[in-house]
């Protein structure tokens, strides 16, 4: 991970999106969002397949992919891949808590990637693939840390090591380039390594 004074400076202008419509859900991927909705942010490896995992859940209003957790302002994909921004690839999830709760989002997060691998997922290696939960309020933070403790016990029983997932307050979310948004709709045969691969997450045990 680069230090702040080592990171690329970036730019003041955000990446331009020609369309702000979700290709699957038909909703806006940029604010304003419905007042009844809440936001969540997760990093779980390559954001192409990760985003689809969340938009398929009932109660999710919209999703978008981007970069967060680093230092570079409005980074490009190439800059993030250089390892000199400190950002990880993330999915922004906007959801209706009356239809789906945060625990269900955490279940999806834990089960579809390996949170013990550090700076990698599958064949993808680099700081931008690290596991992260960025929380928007104290309730989310408590739920995330509690879930990590609970899931760690499940993983240990399955022979996995220690969880490396970063849990911290939600930083600035920088939208990724348009061709990354809902990538697996734009490219139906595109790369995706996400899927159930470890241990089930049960919020009651």
Q: Which residues are catalytic?
A: 46
Please give the Cα distance from 85 to 171 (Å, whole number).
Answer: 14
C-alpha closest to that of 166 among 133, 123, 140, 194: 133
Instruction: Find the distance separating the first CA and the last CA of the chain, reported in whole Å.
Output: 34
Query: What element of type H or E holds 42?
Result: strand 38-44
| Interacting residues of 25 by C-beta distance below 8 A, sequence separation 6+ | 55, 60, 61, 62, 63
Whether residue 14 contacts residue 50, with contact meaning beta carbons closer than 8 Å, is answered with no
What number of other Cβ atoms are within 10 A of residue 111's Cβ? 17
């Amino acid at each position: 991970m680069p230090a702040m004074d080592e990171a690329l400076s970036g730019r003041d202008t955000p990446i331009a999106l020609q369309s702000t419509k979700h290709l699957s859900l038909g909703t806006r991927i940029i604010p304003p969002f419905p007042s009844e909705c809440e936001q969540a942010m997760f990093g779980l490896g390559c954001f192409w397949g990760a985003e689809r995992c969340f938009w398929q859940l009932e109660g999710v209003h919209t999703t978008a992919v981007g970069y967060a957790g680093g230092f570079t302002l409005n980074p490009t994909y190439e800059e993030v891949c250089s390892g000199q921004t400190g950002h990880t690839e993330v999915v922004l999830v906007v959801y209706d808590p009356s239809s789906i709760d945060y625990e269900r989002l955490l279940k999806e997060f834990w089960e579809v990637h390996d949170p013990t691998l550090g700076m990698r997922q599958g064949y993808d290696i680099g700081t931008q693939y690290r596991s992260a939960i960025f929380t928007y309020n104290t309730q989310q933070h408590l739920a995330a840390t509690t879930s990590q403790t609970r899931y760690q016990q499940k993983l240990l029983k399955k022979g996995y090591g220690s969880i490396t997932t970063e849990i911290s307050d939600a930083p600035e979310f920088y939208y990724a380039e348009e061709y990354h948004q809902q990538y697996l709709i734009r490219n139906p045969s595109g790369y995706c390594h996400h899927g159930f691969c470890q241990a089930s997450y049960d919020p009651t045990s």
